[in-house]
Amino acid sequence: MRVTMLDGGHFTSAAGIWRRGEDMGRRVRYPVPAYLIEVGEERILVDTGLNPDAAADATRHYEGSEAIGYFELEQEEAIDRQVDLDSLTMVVLTHLHFDHAGGLALLPSTLPIVVQRREWKAGSDPEAIARNFFQPRDYEGVDDRVVLVDGDHDLLGDGSVELLLTPGHTPGHQSVRVGVGLIIGGDVTHFAVGLDDGRLPIFGDDLEVQLASAERLRGYRDGGVAVRPGHDPEVLVPGPVAVG
């Protein structure tokens, strides 16, 4: 079993948005990870990074979105330059935010997309779209290949990769356990220390629910599992990731 972190790009924005109590005047450059999981014949992409057109000109790509103005996006190379997309067998989305779903447009048009049912429902609910700053452009036109799951889910049926429902950041956010020693946490906490200090971003679908999800991941971590944070510049470096 092999896990590789890919470079999905970067966004730069005010530190205070992503960690309560930080300075709103200080700007920080955050990595956007995506992951390739290789197990047996399966090659699973977890999240897709930024859309390259959005990275080039976000206000044009997401025309009409005010929220996108809070981000400066960059991308050295999109994920199609880092992995042979035709070799993938499925993509798992932790959630529908643009830094996770934006690269869907690059993927082969037959590739199954695994997402939590409640996240997918929120993605077409105008109120939830507004509250969660979703960009429907990222995931339009893919309904016919979306595979919906409900709650924790044994992805391959052999226990090797498990989807964990970890809502709060968005309505149907999920994390991905790989083997016994690794969890790709998604954006349950943007920083590794967020599992301990609970200083979450200032926005989110449901903060209490998100804190409960952080508590759940903290339990795994305290049991010896390495939990990958969402956008921690200190932790997230592209390359091989130990599965444990």
Interface positions with Zn ion (CB under 5 A): 99, 187
Task: Please answer whether residues 173 and 167 qualify as being in contact, where contact means their C-beta atoms are separated by less than 8 angstroms.
Answer: yes
**CA–CA gap between residue 203 and residue 169 (Å, rounded):** 8
Q: Could you tell me the smallest distance in angstroms from the CB atom of residue 7 to Zn ion? A: 14
Shorter beta-carbon distance to Zn ion: residue 132 or 160:
132
Shorter beta-carbon distance to Zn ion: residue 156 or 207:
207
**CA–CA gap between residue 21 and residue 201 (Å, rounded):** 10
Shorter beta-carbon distance to Zn ion: residue 99 or 119:
99
Count of C-beta atoms within a 10 Å radius of residue 41? 7
Q: Could you tell me the smallest distance in angstroms from the CB atom of residue 230 to Zn ion? A: 5
Shorter beta-carbon distance to Zn ion: residue 50 or 161:
50
Q: Could you tell me the smallest distance in angstroms from the CB atom of residue 65 to Zn ion? A: 16
DSSP secondary structure code for residue 165 in this structure: E
Shorter beta-carbon distance to Zn ion: residue 135 or 160:
135
**CA–CA gap between residue 52 and residue 54 (Å, rounded):** 5
Shorter beta-carbon distance to Zn ion: residue 9 or 179:
9
Helical ranges in the chain per DSSP H: 15-18, 52-56, 58-61, 98-101, 117-122, 126-132, 194-197, 207-222
**CA–CA gap between residue 230 and residue 72 (Å, rounded):** 17
Question: Of the candidates 106, 107, 91, which has an alpha carbon nearest to the alpha carbon of residue 45?
Answer: 91
Residue with structure tokens 């037959």? 110
Q: Could you tell me the smallest distance in angstroms from the CB atom of residue 17 to Zn ion? A: 12
**CA–CA gap between residue 202 and residue 51 (Å, rounded):** 24
Q: Could you tell me the smallest distance in angstroms from the CB atom of residue 215 to Zn ion? A: 20
Q: Could you tell me the smallest distance in angstroms from the CB atom of residue 206 to Zn ion? A: 16
Count of C-beta atoms within a 10 Å radius of residue 67? 14
Shorter beta-carbon distance to Zn ion: residue 179 or 185:
185
Q: Could you tell me the smallest distance in angstroms from the CB atom of residue 178 to Zn ion? A: 19
